Amino acid sequence: MTDEQFQAVLDVHLTAPFRILRAAAGPIREAAKSEAADGKEVFRKVVNISSTSGVYGNAGQANYSSGKGPQSSD
């Protein structure tokens, strides 16, 4: 696979989720602070869906496994 193919898959499966969560973190945090100030219990969670390919890998898909692996770690 080419460098471009490898990077394209990483952009979708690793970089995009990171950027989305980074952009959402501020508004989520501010909403939680506001609710906490009003005396409400705050339970804000983010769940990322990944794949077992990030742990076990698939033949010929090093790029996909590389993108999913960091999301699968504890």
Reply yes or no on whether 33 is catalytic. Answer: no
Reply yes or no on whether 56 is catalytic. Answer: no
Catalytic residue among 51, 53, 66, 72: 51
Catalytic residue among 34, 53, 68, 73: 68
Rounded CA-CA distance 17/49 in Å is 10
Residue 69: which residues within 8 A CB-CB, separation 6 or more?
54, 55
Catalytic residue among 34, 50, 53, 64: 64
Reply yes or no on whether 64 is catalytic. Answer: yes
Q: Catalytic residue numbers? A: 51, 64, 68
